[in-house]
Amino acid sequence: MVLDILEYHAKKYPLMQPADAVKLLYQNEFGIGHLISDTTHFLERLQKEADYAVIVPDIELKEPVGNGLVRVMLNSPLSSSLDMDQLADACLKTANEHRGSKEQFQLKLNELKTAVRNGLFDFSVEQLELYLIDYQKEGYPPVSHSLLYHDNYHPSYRVILDKYM
Protein backbone atom coordinates (compact mmCIF):
# COMPACT_ATOMS: atom_id res chain seq x y z
CA MET A 1 0.00 0.00 0.00
CA VAL A 2 1.34 3.41 -1.00
CA LEU A 3 0.51 5.09 2.31
CA ASP A 4 2.55 2.48 4.21
CA ILE A 5 5.60 3.14 2.02
CA LEU A 6 5.19 6.91 2.38
CA GLU A 7 4.93 6.56 6.17
CA TYR A 8 8.00 4.31 6.32
CA HIS A 9 10.14 6.74 4.35
CA ALA A 10 8.77 9.86 6.08
CA LYS A 11 9.83 8.41 9.44
CA LYS A 12 13.20 7.18 8.21
CA TYR A 13 13.99 10.34 6.23
CA PRO A 14 12.23 13.26 7.97
CA LEU A 15 13.97 15.84 5.77
CA MET A 16 12.29 14.56 2.60
CA GLN A 17 11.20 17.27 0.20
CA PRO A 18 8.56 17.08 -2.55
CA ALA A 19 11.13 15.82 -5.08
CA ASP A 20 12.14 12.97 -2.76
CA ALA A 21 8.56 11.83 -2.18
CA VAL A 22 7.83 12.02 -5.91
CA LYS A 23 11.01 10.07 -6.66
CA LEU A 24 9.92 7.37 -4.21
CA LEU A 25 6.53 7.06 -5.89
CA TYR A 26 8.15 7.10 -9.33
CA GLN A 27 10.34 4.18 -8.28
CA ASN A 28 7.32 2.44 -6.75
CA GLU A 29 5.46 2.65 -10.05
CA PHE A 30 8.17 2.43 -12.71
CA GLY A 31 11.09 0.71 -10.98
CA ILE A 32 14.55 1.26 -12.40
CA GLY A 33 13.98 1.03 -16.15
CA HIS A 34 14.58 4.71 -16.71
CA LEU A 35 18.20 4.41 -15.60
CA ILE A 36 19.39 1.66 -17.92
CA SER A 37 19.94 3.07 -21.36
CA ASP A 38 23.46 1.71 -21.88
CA THR A 39 23.77 -1.85 -20.63
CA THR A 40 27.39 -2.09 -21.78
CA HIS A 41 28.62 0.35 -19.15
CA PHE A 42 25.97 -0.29 -16.50
CA LEU A 43 28.07 -2.71 -14.42
CA GLU A 44 31.08 -0.39 -14.61
CA ARG A 45 29.02 2.59 -13.34
CA LEU A 46 27.43 0.44 -10.65
CA GLN A 47 30.81 -0.74 -9.36
CA LYS A 48 32.18 2.78 -9.40
CA GLU A 49 29.21 4.12 -7.42
CA ALA A 50 29.55 1.28 -4.90
CA ASP A 51 33.27 2.02 -4.50
CA TYR A 52 32.62 5.69 -3.73
CA ALA A 53 29.42 5.37 -1.70
CA VAL A 54 29.47 7.08 1.69
CA ILE A 55 28.76 4.25 4.13
CA VAL A 56 25.99 5.19 6.57
CA PRO A 57 26.14 3.04 9.75
CA ASP A 58 22.40 2.62 10.36
CA ILE A 59 21.33 1.79 6.80
CA GLU A 60 20.04 -1.71 6.11
CA LEU A 61 21.05 -3.55 2.94
CA LYS A 62 17.58 -3.14 1.46
CA GLU A 63 14.56 -0.97 2.08
CA PRO A 64 11.07 -1.27 0.67
CA VAL A 65 9.84 0.88 -2.18
CA GLY A 66 6.57 -1.02 -2.47
CA ASN A 67 4.94 -2.68 -5.44
CA GLY A 68 7.34 -5.64 -5.09
CA LEU A 69 10.42 -3.42 -5.32
CA VAL A 70 13.28 -2.62 -2.95
CA ARG A 71 16.22 -0.25 -2.88
CA VAL A 72 19.49 -2.16 -2.56
CA MET A 73 21.57 0.24 -0.52
CA LEU A 74 25.12 0.64 -1.80
CA ASN A 75 25.83 2.87 1.22
CA SER A 76 24.95 0.16 3.77
CA PRO A 77 27.74 -1.35 5.88
CA LEU A 78 26.48 -4.70 4.54
CA SER A 79 26.94 -3.68 0.90
CA SER A 80 30.42 -5.20 0.77
CA SER A 81 28.66 -8.59 0.68
CA LEU A 82 26.98 -7.73 -2.63
CA ASP A 83 28.06 -9.38 -5.86
CA MET A 84 27.94 -6.50 -8.35
CA ASP A 85 27.51 -8.82 -11.33
CA GLN A 86 24.43 -10.34 -9.71
CA LEU A 87 23.07 -6.92 -8.72
CA ALA A 88 23.55 -5.61 -12.26
CA ASP A 89 21.77 -8.69 -13.59
CA ALA A 90 18.92 -8.12 -11.12
CA CYS A 91 18.65 -4.49 -12.26
CA LEU A 92 18.46 -5.51 -15.91
CA LYS A 93 15.87 -8.22 -15.20
CA THR A 94 13.81 -5.74 -13.18
CA ALA A 95 13.98 -3.16 -15.97
CA ASN A 96 12.76 -5.77 -18.45
CA GLU A 97 9.97 -7.15 -16.23
CA HIS A 98 8.57 -4.24 -14.27
CA ARG A 99 6.39 -1.73 -16.08
CA GLY A 100 4.26 1.02 -14.67
CA SER A 101 1.59 3.32 -15.99
CA LYS A 102 1.21 7.06 -15.98
CA GLU A 103 -2.38 6.69 -14.77
CA GLN A 104 -1.38 4.64 -11.72
CA PHE A 105 1.47 7.06 -11.00
CA GLN A 106 -0.97 9.99 -11.04
CA LEU A 107 -3.20 8.14 -8.56
CA LYS A 108 -0.19 7.67 -6.29
CA LEU A 109 0.60 11.38 -6.53
CA ASN A 110 -2.94 12.05 -5.33
CA GLU A 111 -2.31 9.74 -2.37
CA LEU A 112 0.85 11.74 -1.66
CA LYS A 113 -1.19 14.95 -1.59
CA THR A 114 -3.53 13.40 0.96
CA ALA A 115 -0.59 12.23 3.07
CA VAL A 116 0.90 15.75 3.01
CA ARG A 117 -2.48 17.27 3.97
CA ASN A 118 -2.56 14.87 6.92
CA GLY A 119 0.86 16.12 8.12
CA LEU A 120 2.99 13.12 7.17
CA PHE A 121 5.80 15.30 5.79
CA ASP A 122 7.38 18.56 6.90
CA PHE A 123 6.66 20.23 3.57
CA SER A 124 3.28 21.80 2.83
CA VAL A 125 0.61 20.94 0.29
CA GLU A 126 1.39 24.27 -1.36
CA GLN A 127 5.06 23.32 -1.75
CA LEU A 128 4.07 19.98 -3.24
CA GLU A 129 1.53 21.59 -5.59
CA LEU A 130 4.14 24.08 -6.85
CA TYR A 131 6.58 21.26 -7.45
CA LEU A 132 3.97 19.18 -9.27
CA ILE A 133 2.97 22.02 -11.63
CA ASP A 134 6.39 22.01 -13.30
CA TYR A 135 6.75 18.26 -12.95
CA GLN A 136 3.50 17.65 -14.82
CA LYS A 137 4.47 20.15 -17.55
CA GLU A 138 7.70 18.18 -18.05
CA GLY A 139 5.70 14.97 -18.58
CA TYR A 140 6.48 13.18 -15.27
CA PRO A 141 10.17 12.43 -15.90
CA PRO A 142 12.48 10.57 -13.49
CA VAL A 143 13.73 12.98 -10.81
CA SER A 144 16.76 13.33 -8.58
CA HIS A 145 16.77 13.60 -4.82
CA SER A 146 16.70 17.08 -3.34
CA LEU A 147 19.98 18.63 -2.25
CA LEU A 148 18.79 18.54 1.38
CA TYR A 149 18.08 14.80 1.14
CA HIS A 150 21.34 14.12 -0.67
CA ASP A 151 23.47 16.07 1.81
CA ASN A 152 21.88 14.45 4.86
CA TYR A 153 21.29 10.85 3.75
CA HIS A 154 23.93 10.24 1.04
CA PRO A 155 21.61 8.08 -1.08
CA SER A 156 23.31 5.41 -3.13
CA TYR A 157 21.19 2.49 -4.25
CA ARG A 158 19.63 0.51 -7.06
CA VAL A 159 15.98 -0.44 -7.32
CA ILE A 160 15.21 -4.08 -8.07
CA LEU A 161 12.34 -6.50 -7.68
CA ASP A 162 12.57 -7.97 -4.19
CA LYS A 163 12.44 -11.50 -5.59
CA TYR A 164 15.96 -10.96 -6.97
CA MET A 165 17.46 -9.92 -3.64
For residue 27, the Cα-to-chain-centroid distance in whole angstroms is: 5
pLDDT of residue 34: 60
In contact, 132 and 126? CB cutoff 8 Å: no
Confidence of residue 37 (pLDDT cuts 50, 70, 90): low
- Residue 144 reports pLDDT greater than 90: yes
- Residue 33 reports pLDDT greater than 90: no
> For 82-110, what is the mean pLDDT?
93
In contact, 115 and 1? CB cutoff 8 Å: no
C-alpha span between 66 and 1 (Å, rounded):
7
Compute the mean pLDDT over every residue in the chain, rounded to the nearest whole number: 93
In contact, 29 and 105? CB cutoff 8 Å: yes
Residue of 89, 97, 84 lying closest to 49 (CA atoms):
84
> For 110-136, what is the mean pLDDT?
97
Q: What are the residues whose beta carbons fall under 8 Å from the beta carbon of 61, sequence distance 6 or more?
A: 72, 73, 76, 78, 79, 81, 82
C-alpha span between 19 and 135 (Å, rounded):
9
- Residue 40 reports pLDDT greater than 90: no
- DSSP letter, residue 142: -
pLDDT of residue 116: 98
pLDDT of residue 41: 83
Count the neighbouring beta carbons within 10 Å of the beta carbon of residue 72: 22
| More confidently predicted of 92 and 65 | 65
Domain ranges of the chain: 2-164
pLDDT of residue 35: 58
